[in-house]
Amino acid sequence: PTEEYENLRRRIYSNTKEIWYYINHELGKLMTEDIKVEKIQAILDQVADRKRSLLSDQQKLPELDGYHEWRQNEAANVSDLIQRRLKYLQNPPDCREARKVICNLNKGCGFGCQLHHIVYCLIFAYATERTLILNSKGWRYNTKGWDYVFEPISDSCTTAYDDKVMPWPVRYDAKVVSLPFIDSISQKPKFLPLAIPKDLAHRIVRFNGDPASWWIGQMLKYILKPRSSMQKAINETIAKMNFKSPIVGVHIRRTDKVGTEAAFHHIHEYMTHVKDYYDQLELTRVVDVRRVYLATDDANVLEDARKKYPQYEVVGDAGIARTAATHRRYTPQSLAGLLLDLRMLSACDHLVCTFSSQVGRVAYEIMQTNRVDASESFFSLDDIYYFGGQNAHDRRAIMSHNAQGKEDISFQVGDLIGVAGNHWNGYGRGTNKRTNLNGLIPWYKTADHLVLYPFPEYKQVPQ
Ligand code: GDP
């Protein structure tokens, strides 16, 4: 390791102690003083600054540890391998004889939800070595079908001919299987998210902090290839925008989502995290303009943001937001706007959104494919990352914990805890699968439990 790396590593260790010295001293003093709000605020500000400095230093670690380039190459290589396997799967030597799975794009939901529907079908296809046939006639975003907007997901195999189609679950090894929506699937296969392929897992974990979403991102990378006319239109719009790094992507999902599937979040809640990002960035570089790319389905939000935050440059298009609103959502025009928003959000340096929205999750999944590791480049105001219809998401206890009160639960090293969410206050909520008790868990004593599934290894495809 270089001298610079060693110094940085020691600095982080020492400054972690410093943060404790500070908190211990200041809170100790408070016990003997009249507690004043201003004093508490001053302590919080100090702690925040010290935290930013620690995080900023830690961000530099992987750049200096000598493996920076290795990680970049490895991420590109594994991604390339998956893309080639998918291409092989989707273009079998003999389409007539190939086993197939049929996926209908008639799910009556938004585009993010439909993309995830195709991802689920493609994972099913990959896991069962079947070519995915996508039926998209009469598609709600473009009645002419998927291939009118995107490159087809196969160049050579797009029909099941007149073979008999068996709906999943099939009792015997049918040649052609059709899939239900993931929400209503019975005998849910273990290979569905958040599982990742066992043969690649040990490569992925070495460069990415959230392999499950990276793997899902790889499916999107294969699926989501706008045709050249659409690509051209997107590029022309981008050229007119002042999209420059540093820039933070903010996705504000309103209209029909609020009150039904998600809580309302004030713009201020998003901007707090944007400010946090820039305050930290400014420790290491000069930021001339604090830029935000704002995507939303509510045009008023853009206007509101520009009025309330004049110190920020808010990039975004009110026209796109207007066509994204509920009543004109399912049109080719609104799809074009959403593709642009997704492209921009995933190209930002950081993303602030709500993972209750599939648009927010898709943006993050694409972001994961755009760089080596985006697992620390976002903040979700509500849910932790998930895939709709996923199998259980567990965390593994890496330290034991004895419940301190009525709300938290005890666990031992190795216990699996089914997680419901993180409260972003140091605690999450979950159920200990050994004791069946549900309650708060100190998040830092647990680690994400990755599910590895023995997917086919596609030995026919060169490594
Ligand atoms: P969810 O309902 O937010 O989970 O995501 P869906 O994609 O299933 O449905 C929401 C739909 O609203 C999208 O497909 C878009 O048509 C529209 N929409 C939501 N947010 C945005 C946005 O930020 N930009 C654009 N252009 N459209 C959006």
- The predicted-structure confidence for 278-324, as pLDDT tens digits, reads as follows 999 999 999 999 999 999 999 999 999 999 999 999 999 999 999 99
Write down the pLDDT at residue 437: 98
- CB of 105 closer than 6 A to ligand 1? no
Verify whether ligand 1 is closer than 6 Å to residue 329 (CB atom). Answer: yes
Average per-residue pLDDT in the chain? 96
**HSE-up of residue 42 (Cα within 13 Å, Cβ side):** 9
Ligand 1 pocket, 55 CB below 6 A? no
> Is the beta carbon of 357 within 6 A of some atom in ligand 1?
yes
How do residues 56-111 score in pLDDT, each as one tens digit?
Answer: 999 999 999 999 999 999 999 999 999 999 999 999 999 999 999 999 999 999 99
CB-ligand 1 contact for 334 (6 Å cutoff): yes
pLDDT value of position 327: 87
Reply yes or no on whether the pLDDT at 173 is more than 80.
yes
Q: Rounded to the nearest whole angstrom, what is the distance from the C-alpha of residue 111 to the centroid of ligand 1?
A: 7
- Rounded to the nearest 10°, the torsion over CA 362, 366, 371, 376 is 0
Note the pLDDT of residue 293: 98
| The predicted structure's pLDDT at residue 248 | 98
Burial of residue 246 (CB within 10 Å: 0-12, 13-18, 19+) is: middle
C-alpha 437/C-alpha 414 separation (Å) is 16
Which of 224, 331, 338 most suits a substitution to test ligand 1, by most atoms within 8 Å of the C-beta?
338
pLDDT at 158: 96
Asked if residue 240 has pLDDT above 90, the reply is yes
The residue whose CA is least distant from atom 22 of ligand 1 is 296
| Residue 263 reports pLDDT greater than 90 | yes
Query: What does the pLDDT read at residue 171?
Result: 79
CA 252 to ligand 1 centroid distance, Å: 10
How far is the centre of ligand 1, averaged over its atoms, from the C-alpha of 394 (Å)?
Answer: 28
pLDDT score for 74: 98
For ligand 1, is residue 257 a contact (CB within 6 Å)? yes
For residue 166, pLDDT over 80 is answered with yes
Ligand 1 neighbourhood includes 251 CB (under 6 angstroms): yes
Q: What is the pLDDT of residues 422-434, one digit of tens each?
A: 999 999 999 999 9
Q: Is 358 in the pocket of ligand 1 (CB under 6 A)?
A: yes
In angstroms, what is the span from residue 359 Cα to ligand 1's centroid? 5
ipTM reported for the complex surpasses 0.90: yes
pLDDT score of 35 more than 90? no
Q: Please give the backbone phi and psi of residue 353, each rounded to the nearest 5 degrees, phi first.
A: -160, -170
pLDDT at residue 1 is higher than 80: no
Q: Is the CB of 325 under 6 A from ligand 1?
A: no
Tokens of 330: 């399912």
Residue 24 has what pLDDT? 94
Which residue owns the Cα nearest ligand 1 atom 2? 357
pLDDT given for residue 370 in this prediction: 97
pLDDT (0 to 100) of residue 454: 98
112 lines ligand 1 (CB under 6 A): yes
Closest residue by Cα to atom 17, ligand 1, is 324
CB atoms under 10 Å from CB of 252, counted, come to 26
pTM: 0.97
134 lines ligand 1 (CB under 6 A): no
327-372 tens-digit pLDDT: 889 999 999 999 999 999 999 999 999 999 999 999 999 999 999 9
Q: Tokens for 350, please give them.
A: 């950081």
Ligand 1 touching residue 237 (CB < 6 A):
no
211/149 Cα distance (integer angstroms):
29
Which numbered atom of ligand 1 lies nearest the CA of 251? Answer: 23
Residue pair 168/185 in contact by the 8 Å Cβ criterion: yes
Testing ligand 1's pocket by substitution, the residue of 335, 341, 359, 386 carrying the most ligand atoms inside 8 A of its CB is 359
